[in-house]
Structure 1
């Protein structure tokens, strides 16, 4: 039995544009238009699941997907940093930012550590390895990073070395918890047949 998991990152939102820790904002008009134009570009799936965020729900809707919200697919909880830019936090708490970026177990912002998000997403991915067919998952960029770290058995410190562009598909396929990776395919409008 081969399992396939396609992880789709959300369309552009103000927080992504401003390098701000996600605070629940919706996708912007440009992001919504790009997602609508990419509707139909994803392969058919046995199931569709979503991170519990506005931008993931809106991205899925714009792509024409109807999914089930899965709380375990939430993005990284950054506690008191929510809604602030990395520059703002770095200016106010430079030692804390350094620690956060170098120590996967650190959660001094009051949220969850990178280690914890990798473990949470890893448990979900392990469960998917025993599921036949394709799963589409519209998830936060941190969930994509965590899934890749887990799937490839990378050190958790690699989490910060993985960039996830908006509205891209990262594909995992495998069996018996051994995954192969196809990373970062942009979602584009499906090709239309040529007129005769």
Structure 2
């Protein structure tokens, strides 16, 4: 008989977004989240695109041509991909809420992003407009960029073939960075379990 799996009390979710502006109320076109470790019965990866056309005439969100041009230059056809595969604002927000809440129901949820002062205010506005509560606690939102910077031995490079500035590829890379830092120091391992 196999021994039951034992999980830590805390779960780390890495979040990445792509938006059409850099303001706190930027229009989001791509959201991804990756759980640091696989948990039986829960999805490890989350990715949803939002139709850019959802934002036309919407006063709660901003978009600018420079950011649109940036995305088209980085990933030609990306905006059309988001339009073709994307959900409505409400549908995408509900999907994100459900993914995060599935972990929040079982664990103490900790969220990470490359710039917590960028991603989470934008996501908070997105959730507010969709009339949903944010499924994270602000005291448990962390900046991965600072964490990696404080650990210069952590030098992970993107996986060959991954595409920068696509939310899921970026979130997977960032999860690998967080994993490397946590594995490099037993103090971090105790802190995050």
The alignment's TM-score, normalised by the length of structure 2, stands at 0.32
The alignment's TM-score, normalised by the length of structure 1, stands at 0.32
Greater relative contact order (CA < 8 Å, ≥ 6 in sequence): 1
Kindly indicate which of the two structures has a greater share of residues assigned to helix: 2
